[in-house]
Amino acid sequence: MTALSITAANVIAAGGANVENGVAGATITQGEVVYRDTSTSKFGLADCDSATANVRVAYGIALNGASDGQPLRVLKSGDITIGATLTIGAAYYLGATAGEIVPYADLVEDDYIVFLGVAKSASVLSVAINNTGAQAPAA
């Protein structure tokens, strides 16, 4: 399996989703997973194998593209049309490449397990982030 191939223009939050407005601290593409920098409160790209603990803590999924200092809307929970083909019922996680969304099978030993959500349909991800703090075991 591989990381989701997201078409940014097709990423849309469903009504009732928990969305927060903030500021990008890096170049971010719509549909990427972000973390909130604890020192600047800006958003950057989350990464499950980063050496920096804060970067491994997913905060949400970007709903628009932005560069450093620009406004960014972030979906924290709820349904999102993710702009990629999903496997119904499959769970999705933060990947080891900054900002990516992957199935569990893509995690390798010592990656931090960050649950993002479950596919409700072939296009809708039900986001309920859980930063477990656990690391993936050896295969």
The pTM assigned to this predicted structure is 0.96
Q: Average pLDDT by consecutive 10-residue portion of the chain (139 residues)?
A: 91 97 98 97 97 96 98 98 97 97 95 98 98 90
Q: Which residue has the tokens 């499959």?
A: 90
Q: Which residues contact 94 (CB under 8 A, 6 or more apart)?
A: 33, 46, 47, 48, 56, 58, 100, 101, 102, 112, 114, 116
Measured CA to CA, the distance from residue 78 to residue 65 in angstroms comes to 19
Q: What are the structural domains of the chain? A: 8-133 (2.40.300)
Q: Which residues contact 42 (CB under 8 A, 6 or more apart)?
A: 22, 23, 24, 25, 26, 36, 68
Is residue 106 within 8 A of residue 1, CB to CB? The reply is yes
pLDDT number for residue 1: 56
Is residue 32 within 8 A of residue 11, CB to CB? The reply is no
pLDDT number for residue 2: 87
- First-residue to last-residue Cα distance in the chain: 15
